[in-house]
Amino acid sequence: MTTSTAAPVRTQDVGRRTRRRSSLERRYSRAAWWFISPWLVGFLVFTAWPMIYSAYLSFTDYDVINDPQLVGWANYQELFSDPKVALALQNTLVYAALAVPAHILLALGLALLLDQASRRASGFFRTAFFLPKMTPPVAIGVLLILLFNGQRGAVNTVLGWFGITGPAWTTDPAWVKPGLVLMGLWTVGSTVIILLAALRGVPTDLYDAARVDGAGFWRRTRAVTLPMISGPLFFVVVVNTIAALQMFTEAYTAYFGSGNTTYSNDAALFYVIYLFQQAFEFLHMGYASALAWLLFLVIMAITGIQVLVSRRLVYYEGEAR
């Protein structure tokens, strides 16, 4: 096998092989479409089509039995004159404004504490904090009514030990939302875990440097820890805000129900609950669709503002984009 004779054969061979390879490559890549086809079909049927259809329905009156009747902008006009929409929107925004900071602050506090504990201890506590996240929201709704019961609930019993007369959490309109917020704090577990993972990722030498410069615990937390975990922190703020704006199950379980709704409490009338009632209790599908689009806009606007604010506050390591 001498190089002089082998060389031309090889080049020819390589040329043919790359051509065949590339057509093989293309055929192989065609399989990608089979792999993503479940999502593609699902996207068209359960996302794209519903969005188009919901936009159309929002301009109609539709009670499921009779055909949709086009009504122009009437549903949207009604949105702005319906006092219940204003109330539901206000309730939802107030709830989110209370729940999100409380949730993040508690989660951050617990994560900082866990970061100080030994690894074995933090494993135990992490498990304990995460456990409530496994509780079905409907059971959390039940717990809310029982533990926050004005007269006999455990929460007011504990407050009583300190000489505090607790409010009627579940019946006094002023205390319904704080009660829901406090019960909601029970499920901070997953946020704690995300933040703890972020804290563990902060390089130690930064703390050492800060300590050499004489920074105490608070100073280190403010100047090193918070900037270094600002990415995950921003993530949990956005996710929790979106979730809070769509609050449904716990409040619906505790304050609304089918049939004789004698116990409905408008202090807990959140936006998605009102939407659900309009759609599936009153069968106002068109109006409910318009409600859905208003919620969509509100969520987009709030998330957009958060993203804009985060540009100034969030620090991404190695960011050169």
Partner 1 sequence: MTTAPAVPTPVIEQPPTDGPRTRQRRVPPARRVGRVLVVVALLLATAAFVYPFVWLLSASFKPRGDVFDNRLWPRTWTFQNYLDVWQTAPMATWLVNTVIVTVLAATTVTATSAMVAWGFAHFRFRGRNVLFGLVLATMMLPGAVTMVPTYLIWKQLGFVGTLVPLWGQNLFASAFYVFLLRQFFLALPRELFEAARLDGAGPWRVFTRIAVPLCRPALVLTLLFEVQAAWTDLMRPLIYLQDSSTFTVPRGLKALLDQFGFGGEWHWEIVVTASVITTLPMILLFFFGQKHFIQGIATTGSKG
Stretch 78-97 residues interacting with partner 1 (CB under 8 A):
none
Residue in 165, 214, 258, 312 binding partner 1, rule: CB under 8 A: 258
Cα 255 to its chain centre, rounded Å, is 22
Q: Which of residues 156-175 bind partner 1 (CB under 8 A)?
A: 157
Class of residue 61 by CB neighbours under 10 A (exposed 0-12, middle 13-18, buried 19+): middle
* Segment contacting partner 1 by CB under 8 A, of 78-86, 166-174, 247-255, 313-321: 247-255
Q: In this complex, which beta carbon is closest to partner 1, that of residue 3 or of residue 29?
A: 29
Q: How far is the CB of 94 from partner 1 (least distance, A)?
A: 19
Adjacent-strand bridge partners of 267: none
Where would I find the H helices in the chain? 3-43, 49-57, 74-81, 83-116, 119-130, 137-147, 154-161, 173-184, 189-200, 204-212, 217-220, 226-228, 230-245, 249-255, 271-276, 285-313
Q: In this complex, which beta carbon is closest to partner 1, that of residue 101 or of residue 160?
A: 160
Structure tokens at 134: 């496994």
Structure tokens at 97: 């404004």
Site string for partner 1, 207-246 (x = CB under 8 A): xx----------------------xx--xx--x--x--xx
Q: Which of residues 269-298 bind partner 1 (CB under 8 A)?
A: 272, 275-276, 279-280, 285, 288-289, 291-293, 295-296
Residue in 129, 169, 175, 270 binding partner 1, rule: CB under 8 A: 129
50 is an interface residue for partner 1 by CB under 8 A: yes
Q: In this complex, which beta carbon is closest to partner 1, that of residue 123 or of residue 173?
A: 123
29 is an interface residue for partner 1 by CB under 8 A: yes
Our CA angle for 53, 46, 36, nearest 5°, is 135
Q: How far is the CB of 251 from partner 1 (least distance, A)?
A: 11
Q: In this complex, which beta carbon is closest to partner 1, that of residue 119 or of residue 321?
A: 119
Q: How far is the CB of 129 from partner 1 (least distance, A)?
A: 6
Residue in 262, 308, 312, 317 binding partner 1, rule: CB under 8 A: 262
Entry field: residues in the chain = 321
Q: In this complex, which beta carbon is closest to partner 1, that of residue 47 or of residue 69?
A: 47
Please give the Cα distance from 293 to 155 (Å, whole number).
38
Residue in 4, 152, 163, 214 binding partner 1, rule: CB under 8 A: 152
From 298, 259, 294, 237, select the one nearest 77 (Cα to Cα). Answer: 294
Please give the Cα distance from 113 to 67 (Å, whole number).
59
Please give the Cα distance from 7 to 13 (Å, whole number).
10
Q: How many residues bind partner 1 (CB under 8 A)?
A: 113
* Segment contacting partner 1 by CB under 8 A, of 42-50, 79-87, 168-176, 306-314: 42-50
186 is an interface residue for partner 1 by CB under 8 A: yes
Structure tokens at 17: 């092989």
Contacts of 148 (CB under 8 A, 6+ apart): 155, 156, 169, 170, 179, 182, 183
Adjacent-strand bridge partners of 69: 61
Structure tokens at 115: 């970061």
Adjacent-strand bridge partners of 70: 60
Residue in 6, 70, 86, 121 binding partner 1, rule: CB under 8 A: 121
Residue in 119, 311, 312, 321 binding partner 1, rule: CB under 8 A: 119
